[in-house]
Structure 1
Amino acid sequence: MTAGSSRYGVGEDGFWETAYVELLGNLHQVNIQFADKEGFGNRVQIARIWEQFVYALLVGTYGPIPMKNALKPNQGPTILFDTEDEVYTAILDNLKDAAAKIDPAKDKLTYDVLYGGDLLKWKHFANTLRLRIALRCRRNLQTVADKHISEIMQDPASTLSAENETAKVAYENIDGNQNPYYTKFIRNYYPVDIMPKMSDLLFTYFRSYKDPRIGIYFDSIPAVINRFQLTDTLTSTHDDSLRIVTYPIPYFGIPKSPFLLPAWGLSGDPIGGLNINAYSDPRRSTFYAPERPFIFLSYAESAFLKAEAALLGFGGPAAAEQYYNTGIDANCSYWNVPATAAATYKAQPGILWDTEGKGFRTYLNITGTDIPADNLHKIWIQRWINYFPDGGFDSWCLERQTRFLDLPPLTNPANQYISEIYADLPNRWIYPSTVVTYNAAGYADAVSKLSGDEHSPYTNLRFLQPLQRKNWNTAPAAFNFSFIQKWFGNNVEDLSAKGIPYKIVRAYKQ
């Protein structure tokens, strides 16, 4: 959705160490220290829920990881790894068990940054997280996953069912307690040339389906001088001549494939020399607000998960279409999209249930944004859009699980094992160097449980839809600006009425 660089990285030590030492280590101590103490039962179960959340991040990133042998100092230096199937099975079972053991009538929480002590909401969060993960791993664990999905859909009221149940952590806007995006990009003065920008793919989806969220997720480019000057052909209400005109447009998405232009026989890239400020930033008043809550799992996503489960035949009191529309409404409501705009958006072909949408192709014409009549695809598109701004990991998982997006390649791979000049979305991260150094036998065990080369970013994880790599060398590339043409209307008078500065390059008869 956003792009901060033209490269894909495939691993870093910091995430692994933070997950095991700072997160899982502390959560595990809650269970060790308080499992048998009166008055701490609910706290222990909440710690177990968070443990499963972190393990889901790890297994979805690397594949085989230590779980049952992790966090045991007496284990010695060799920690063997569990398979993906073993980890996912344990996560699902533990979430079910933890939710069942939370007792809202006992040991109320006096400090709870997520739900303010509402233990019933913690049960709903655990069940919804279980539904998310069960849907994710149906490919490799269908019998196990389907059992969990069926159980949850027999009682969908036990999942997040209202906006006030969204799992989010608020911030107080004091040093040490501010939204991490604000801390990283604003307070620490992140270099402007690698700050997040709207991706050209999301931009093309927004334009294709007139999505009202474009101006809520992203700021218009403030300085007109920085805006992309579009060359367009417009009519006039005064005569029958056509005008070739140039005018600035308020939003623009950054592409990922400019380095392949010579290979495709293209030159003179119309956007190749644009200033980085010509591309749209995430909306500062929301994305970068120091007090903006960080969303872990939303009510809107809960509705989309139930829509998918219902469509797959797992039942529920509402039809899949109803859950789907509820999810769109919940996301739009959260971002204060007017109800009339949301209704107009939902009525469009490709967004409306059972309809096909013909979207624009991106500016290099190598990928497109059609939405097929298949309703599962519609649910995935809306889940993807709903994951903005905090659900990058789950967006990555959804794409790898389904391959529902027509993703363009990157052309500056950050991996020495990629020999091509382009790179597709990685399937996984490689294990950090600390594992190789301090747990050599465990590392060898992990590699033996992978289905391919540990150093290849395209080694498949078991929950993934196998990646069918395209031959990008033969992509039908051509400069294409149809997705942004006629931005303000069909004639030059529309530009004047909206106060848009324009220049007529020439006029000619049709």
Structure 2
Amino acid sequence: MKKVTYQYCYLSILAILLITGCTRKFDEINQDPNTPKSSDPGYLLISAQKKALDNIWNEWNNGRTGMHYAQYWSATTYSNESRYQIRENQNNTFWNILYAGTLKDLNEIIKINGEKVFDHSSNQIAIAQILKVWAFHMLTDVYEDIPYKSALNGLDKPNSEYDKASTIYPDLLKVLAEQVARLDLSKASFPAKTDIIYGGDVQKWKRFANSLRLRIAIRVSDVPAMQALVSQTIKDAVASGVFTSNDDNAHFKYVDAPPNNNPLNESYKSRTDFCMCKTLVDYMASVKDPRLPIYAAPSKDSGKFVGKPYGLNQQNGETIPNSSISMPGSKVLDAKAPGVYMDYAEVEFILAEAVARGILSGSAEEHYKKGVTASLEDRGVAPADIPLYIARVPYSGGSWKNVIGTQKWIALYMQGLEGWFERIRLDFKKPSGEALFVAPVDGSLDRDVTVVPTRMTYPVDEQQLNKSNYDKAVQSIGGKDSKAAKHFWDLY
């Protein structure tokens, strides 16, 4: 861990060169990767950020999991994942990249800054801790109970104990509050070229940490034992400063050339495995959503936007040619389309929900409108079309879960895992009260799941290499490692 491996060094140097396009100071980083002088926290930050986003944005964990479970996309040919039969090797990879990749890099940043303290060390540690919270939160919401305390300083031992998700959540909020207090706007952090998200801007990292506090708190807002924590966290985060515009969006900026282009852009160069889901297309068409031509491409045959029924088994004789349905739009599959850690639109929808729940004072409707507007502006919708669209999807306090839920779901398009989490948390329908989501039309391939999974099963490696702790975790979540086991926060 005290030396950067050749692979990490190569990835980091290449990322810097491609993303910054700067060659004037090449001599500063052009050292022999086989004998690096020391681990550079900046290179480790690039590595951690890229591994994390590539992992949740790729064709496997985003395309074949999140984008299916949120019913943004359907499968063109191979429908097994949309019917909940997962590929265990990819499940292993998702877990391992976050633990042995992203979290390991972030732990090393903290270790280096603890061994020799510089003026920027406090901010570097805080930023690494904020990203660690983001990674642990992602793992917890995918799996429920996970190794947490054993991984705070590095998941180096083979038999790691699991912690209950209900105890992890409060600690994540505690850590974020501590990092907000630690961040010092008068001091430097990382060099701009080594922080792809915010270019070393400490103020923006503070807003991201507070906004992440909102996401984590609102997810447990139905849990009776956490009501006081949720209320205090949301109020404190807002007072400290959350996202206020799309300029604050936590985006990972991809570039034109591989291996640093958008992962879905790269996968579409050789395969066309995903098309638009009928669930999303039909609803957006019904409200004349101006984002539809951005999210999707017209069908080649009809020139219209046509979604494919979700969970259709084309190998069962129900063949629909790709030319007759809509593919994802060119903008969302562009090489430079950013990966998203969190954005301003989500923050405004959370604030709208917090007002609707009585946590915050103010107008839920105004926050709702700001959330819709932020999403439309971020997607490039013409300003004149925005008030017309908002008038077609008015806020209604009597059915706030459905109204906020549908628009938040649309705004989260391409953030497949977050769209899935919000679907199962809010259980929202169309604002009219009609069902929005459907079960796979040709049935689920998972005997425990009928409509949608509520979590992912633990990786096979954990079952085989960490069996004692795995068995305890399974008992903790209900006695069966099932995709139908519910999160502690999923009460309805």
**TM-score, normalised to structure 2's length?**
0.76
Alpha carbons of 1:352 and 1:446: their partners in 2 closer, same or farther (altered >3 Å)? same
Alpha carbons of 1:74 and 1:198: their partners in 2 closer, same or farther (altered >3 Å)? closer
> Structure 2 regions of 5+ residues with no counterpart?
1-71, 430-434
Counterpart check, 1:103 vs 2:179: no
Runs of 4+ in 1 over 6 A off after TM superposition: none
Deviation at 1:71, TM superposition (A): 5.9
Task: Answer whether contact 1:42 1:107 (CA < 8 A) is retained.
Answer: yes
Task: Answer whether contact 1:24 1:51 (CA < 8 A) is retained.
Answer: yes
The superposition leaves residues 228-268 of structure 1 with CA deviations (integer Å, 9 ceiling, x where unpaired) of xxxxxxxxxxxxxxxxxxxxx511001025569x9xxxxxx
Alpha carbons of 1:68 and 1:74: their partners in 2 closer, same or farther (altered >3 Å)? closer
State the partner residue of 2:12: none
Task: Answer whether contact 1:309 1:315 (CA < 8 A) is retained.
Answer: yes
Counterpart check, 1:437 vs 2:467: no
**TM-score, normalised to structure 1's length?**
0.74
| Cα RMSD (Å) | 2.4
* Distance in 1 (alpha carbons) for counterparts of 2:407 and 2:332: 19
Aligned pairs for 1:57-206 within 5 A: 57-70=138-151, 76-111=157-192, 112-140=195-223, 141-153=226-238, 155=239, 158-186=241-269, 189-190=270-271, 192=272, 194=273, 196-206=274-284
State the partner residue of 2:35: none
Q: Letter of the aligned partner of 2:205 in structure 1?
A: W
Task: Answer whether contact 1:198 1:281 (CA < 8 A) is retained.
Answer: yes
SS of equivalent to 1:374: helix
Deviation at 1:206, TM superposition (A): 1.1
Deviation at 1:273, TM superposition (A): 4.3
Match of 1:399 among 423, 426, 429: 423
Deviation at 1:216, TM superposition (A): 1.5
Task: Answer whether contact 1:41 1:107 (CA < 8 A) is retained.
Answer: no
Alpha carbons of 1:74 and 1:378: their partners in 2 closer, same or farther (altered >3 Å)? closer
Task: Answer whether contact 2:294 2:332 (CA < 8 A) is retained.
Answer: no
Match of 1:410 among 417, 434, 440: 440
The superposition leaves residues 124-177 of structure 1 with CA deviations (integer Å, 9 ceiling, x where unpaired) of 001001101100012333332222123224x1x700101111110212312321
Aligned pairs for 1:230-269 within 5 A: 250-256=304-310, 258=312
* Distance in 1 (alpha carbons) for counterparts of 2:95 and 2:444: 19
Deviation at 1:411, TM superposition (A): 4.6
Alpha carbons of 1:71 and 1:204: their partners in 2 closer, same or farther (altered >3 Å)? same
State the partner residue of 1:33: 112
* Distance in 2 (alpha carbons) for counterparts of 1:416 and 1:328: 36
* Distance in 1 (alpha carbons) for counterparts of 2:378 and 2:249: 10
SS of equivalent to 2:341: strand
The superposition leaves residues 93-123 of structure 1 with CA deviations (integer Å, 9 ceiling, x where unpaired) of 1111112211110124313211122110100
Structure showing the higher helix proportion among its residues: 2
Alpha carbons of 1:435 and 1:279: their partners in 2 closer, same or farther (altered >3 Å)? same
* Distance in 1 (alpha carbons) for counterparts of 2:379 and 2:486: 36
Task: Answer whether contact 1:310 1:319 (CA < 8 A) is retained.
Answer: yes
Q: Letter of the aligned partner of 2:320 in structure 1?
A: L
SS of equivalent to 1:437: helix
Match of 1:54 among 135, 139, 143: 135
Match of 1:324 among 350, 368, 383: 368
Alpha carbons of 1:404 and 1:74: their partners in 2 closer, same or farther (altered >3 Å)? closer
Q: How many residue pairs were aligned?
A: 400
Counterpart check, 1:464 vs 2:479: no
Aligned pairs for 1:266-345 within 5 A: 272-284=318-330, 286-315=331-360, 318-345=362-389
State the partner residue of 2:285: 207
State the partner residue of 1:493: none
SS of equivalent to 1:197: strand
* Distance in 1 (alpha carbons) for counterparts of 2:474 and 2:375: 40
Deviation at 1:413, TM superposition (A): 6.0
State the partner residue of 1:375: 400
State the partner residue of 2:455: 428
* Distance in 1 (alpha carbons) for counterparts of 2:222 and 2:85: 26
Q: Letter of the aligned partner of 2:113 in structure 1?
A: F
Task: Answer whether contact 1:300 1:328 (CA < 8 A) is retained.
Answer: yes
* Distance in 1 (alpha carbons) for counterparts of 2:172 and 2:231: 14
State the partner residue of 1:384: 409
Q: How many percent of aligned residue pairs carry the same amino acid?
A: 25
* Distance in 1 (alpha carbons) for counterparts of 2:311 and 2:339: 31
Task: Answer whether contact 1:403 1:465 (CA < 8 A) is retained.
Answer: no
Q: Letter of the aligned partner of 2:406 in structure 1?
A: I
State the partner residue of 1:231: none
Please identify, of 107-116 and 62-71, the stretch whose mean Cα deviation from structure 2 is larger.
107-116
SS of equivalent to 1:172: coil
SS of equivalent to 1:287: coil
* Distance in 2 (alpha carbons) for counterparts of 1:253 and 1:465: 31
State the partner residue of 1:354: 396
Deviation at 1:326, TM superposition (A): 0.9
